[in-house]
Structure 1
Amino acid sequence: MIGILVFPNFQLLDAAGPIAAFEIAGRLAGAPASIKVIAAEPGEIASSSGVALLARGLRSIAGLETLIVAGGQGVRAAASCPRILAFVRKAAQRGCRVASVCSGAYVLAEAGILDGRHATTHWRHTQHFLASYPQIKLAPDRIFARDGNIWSSAGISAGIDLALAMIIEDHGEAVAQAAARQLVLYHRRGGGQSQFSSLLELKAPTGRFAPLLSWAREHLDQALTVERLAEHAGMSARHFTRAFIAETGATPSKAIERLRVEVARQRVQGSSEAIELIAQSAGFRDPERMRRAFIRSFGQPPQALRRAARAG
């Protein structure tokens, strides 16, 4: 059984996205999914849009195998509800697959089940989440993260990506791909793909690290280690890393990778220069490293982007 945990003022798509993905996958696999919406108090639970879902109470749920906690405007109240926290904690302790969508990560964090684990959440919450839960290994620019039986995902639509990853585990790659096509998704994103909003921020940085990133963009062919970036910023490596993540929502290494990817993408799509030469000048050193970075960022290798640009 799959349980979708909601609360007053939850984000509707945080719940509806995974529900649709599991429903379609179950039908395609010939094993219809048993999906229940649950809440601390049974009855109609209104989302932030005003649209309500009919939820069962926590005590009425038995045989739960997957629990997905929605996010939304009401998450702070949910994250301070002892009944919800106890329910989530007990589900994790039983080995249930427990996940959060967007700010639902706050519920998992308050329940204590993210302590010492890798997790992610919406990029807008990065700074507050890092300050509130230093014991959690936040990966601020991932679409979703998994650490054992605990999963977490970024904003809203990333809940569908998380559900599709679970569907692979339950029904295999073929069913997940078919479900993605049914959902009319351009491609199924892997967990390591960057949150697009963070990419936009780094392309036009305006904060205190703007000069550093502008300098780095002009020196992409060099070894831009965390130590060298910190030295250029006049900070210790440890302090620099935490401050950089808090402001940009990405680690320094991820930021540099994105700058390299963006410069390389422009040259891949706008010229007939050899992929090997582009990889070297953008700082990737070899084409395979650049190929993996392109797939993380765009879901496609450089050659596919070049073919699409020429076809266009």
Structure 2
Amino acid sequence: MAPDLRLLILPLPEFALLPFGAFLDKLRFSADDEDYSRQRYCAWTVLGLDSAPLAASSGAMLQVDVTPAQVDWRAHDYLVLFGGRSAAATAALAPRYKTLLKQAVKAGVKLVCIDNAAFLLAACGLLDGHKVVVHWRHEAEFRASYPKVQVLTEQLYCFDGARISCAGGTAAIDLAVELIARACGRTRALKGLADMLVDESRDSRHALRSLDAAPGQGRQVQRAMALMRHHLASALSVEQLAAELGISRRQLDRQFQASHGMSAKGWWLEIRLQQARWRLLNSSHGLAQIADEVGLGDASYLGKCVRKRFGCTALALRQQSGGLPYCGVPNNPVQ
């Protein structure tokens, strides 16, 4: 009996283990009756450019099953790519992977990009005219790098014809459930969730409570913070943001002062600077591009803000080996 769902799994260099393991374990539970782990209803094969083991971002090694020369594209429905740790480094893989990806497309195999793998598909021109979902931390970077590709916000995954995307993390479980449901039925797709200690599969438009929730924060502050992340690169003013919430700027500032000890504008600047800091440490993009991504105008202004916030120049910050820990709650923030 041929499996109902046939996948080629392509982890990219420094892929994240969490979405990879979550996705494959969901396949495993649904692939057989009971808990026998045979690939009866779902089948998957790990693909690599060569036969060398692949290193995850954690350093764990993964054995490759097949190389491109051994692939029969007609025997697979999907090619599932798991992105690397750095979005920029993943995009830079385009010359090495473009031929392979175009072979898959020509054979009618649907492309699935999980986590930063969307940057590779976009760099290869394979997301033109498609909608895509990326991790919320990388939305501004993706928009700046590929302005012609439509990015959907606040979604876990997206099916857009022959292109499927997923934000990564545990959303890979929800994507796997949907893929299995479309090929094998909903009952089989839900099989094993209890064994994985997962309450239920989430809809693609599920809103992450953890993205907003924090002790001591009112609902309007939580919503304001979500809007700040969403409009990170825009010229939206605090007054306009407050209007979206149906309150005045004065009321919004009062609530931020009560919960965070600073104005709404100060917190928004902190979010932008933390994102800029992360980009300086994890990409080779110039100050001008990063400033545009985080809505801080130009390189000169970003440089001044970085020096004031972190006590060093942007270049010195980029040259740090380990860097400072990400500050979810500002420490000596710029007001």
Give the Cα–Cα distance (whole angstroms) in 1 for the partners of residues 237 and 134 of structure 2.
22
Give the Cα–Cα distance (whole angstroms) in 2 for the partners of residues 43 and 78 of structure 1.
18
- Offset at residue 99 of structure 1 (A): 0.5
Bigger mean CA offset, 79-88 vs 63-72: 79-88
Query: What CA deviation, in whole Å up to 9, does each residue of 1:173-229 have, x standing for no partner?
Result: 111122333322122111122345654595353676444333332359xxxxxxxxx
The residue matched to 1:131 in structure 2 has which SS? helix
2:90/2:116 contact within 8 Å kept:
no
**Structure 1 residues 210, 186: closer, same or farther in 2, change over 3 A?**
farther
- Offset at residue 78 of structure 1 (A): 4.2
- Offset at residue 75 of structure 1 (A): 5.1
The residue matched to 2:158 in structure 1 has which SS? strand
Matched to 1:218, the amino acid is G
Give the Cα–Cα distance (whole angstroms) in 1 for the partners of residues 126 and 195 of structure 2.
33
Give the Cα–Cα distance (whole angstroms) in 2 for the partners of residues 90 and 107 of structure 1.
15
Matching of residues 267-282 of structure 1 within 5 Å: none
Query: What CA deviation, in whole Å up to 9, does each residue of 1:83-130 have, x standing for no partner?
Result: 312212221232212111111111121222211111111011111111
- Offset at residue 50 of structure 1 (A): 1.0
Bigger share in helix: 1
- Offset at residue 14 of structure 1 (A): 2.6
Aligned to 2:155: 142
Uncovered stretches (5+) of structure 1, i.e. residues with no partner: 221-245, 249-312
Give the Cα–Cα distance (whole angstroms) in 1 for the partners of residues 87 and 71 of structure 2.
21
1:102/1:153 contact within 8 Å kept:
yes
Aligned to 2:280: none
Specify which of 18, 27, 49 is matched with residue 22 of structure 1. Answer: 27
- Offset at residue 13 of structure 1 (A): 1.9
Report whether the alignment pairs 1:51 with 2:63.
no
Give the Cα–Cα distance (whole angstroms) in 1 for the partners of residues 48 and 204 of structure 2.
28
TM-score, with structure 2 as normaliser: 0.60
Matching of residues 76-95 of structure 1 within 5 Å: 76-81=88-93, 82-95=95-108
- Offset at residue 43 of structure 1 (A): 1.9
1:68/1:101 contact within 8 Å kept:
yes
Report whether the alignment pairs 1:215 with 2:246.
no
Give the Cα–Cα distance (whole angstroms) in 2 for the partners of residues 71 and 197 of structure 1.
23
TM-score, with structure 1 as normaliser: 0.64
Give the Cα–Cα distance (whole angstroms) in 2 for the partners of residues 197 and 212 of structure 1.
25
Uncovered stretches (5+) of structure 2, i.e. residues with no partner: 1-5, 214-220, 249-292, 296-335
**Structure 1 residues 104, 214: closer, same or farther in 2, change over 3 A?**
same
Matched to 1:160, the amino acid is I
